[in-house]
Amino acid sequence: MKIPMAILADEANVSQEGKLNVMGIFDRITAAAFPVVHPKLIFAFRVQADAADGGRTFPVEITMEAPDGTVIFDANGEIGAPLVPAGEFTTFNQLFNLVGLQFPVAGVYRFIVRIENEVREAPLIVEAAPVGDPTLN
């Protein structure tokens, strides 16, 4: 099982055909003061399974870490891989809709997905706005 992609975005969905649709990929937000609450973001990742993975279930862990390494949230579950013909692969997409997420301090936050030994992360820089800067993300 592989995780070829993990991103943060303003919006994302998966179509009836299984296509991942994403708008507003970002890796930085700016805040006038801390703590700051971000109204909504999507943590999206793609999983790829090949024939050796087919029919198996894999433990999945999603975490968000603060700049000091403290885990802010942690979610666990399982992903089942469908049967995959030899020499082929299949992909599927996972979306975590995070509303009202609080960032206590400036720094680099890490959104991490782990499936067995495979790890992918989407870092997010949360920075303080310069004094008097009217443009905030």
**Per-residue model confidence (pLDDT) at position 34:** 95
Q: Tell me which DSSP letter residue 31 carries.
A: E
CA 126/CA 123 separation, integer angstroms: 10
**Per-residue model confidence (pLDDT) at position 134:** 56
**Selection from 110, 126, 104, 133 nearest residue 29 by Cα:** 126
DSSP readout, 45-61?
EEEEEETTTTT-EEEEE
Q: Which amino acid is at 86?
A: A
Percent of the chain exceeding pLDDT 90 equals 93
Given pLDDT bands bounded at 50, 70 and 90, which one contains residue 15?
very high
With a cut of 90, say whether residue 29 has pLDDT above it.
Answer: yes
With a cut of 80, say whether residue 61 has pLDDT above it.
Answer: yes
Given pLDDT bands bounded at 50, 70 and 90, which one contains residue 135?
low
**Per-residue model confidence (pLDDT) at position 132:** 65
Task: Give the H/E segment covering residue 123.
Answer: strand 118-128
**Per-residue model confidence (pLDDT) at position 131:** 77
Question: Are 9 and 23 within 8 A, CB to CB?
Answer: yes
Q: Please give the model's pTM, rounded to 2 decimal places.
A: 0.90
As a whole number, the mean pLDDT across the chain is 94
Q: What is the pLDDT of residues 73-126, one digit of tens each?
A: 999 999 999 999 999 999 999 999 999 999 999 999 999 999 999 999 999 999
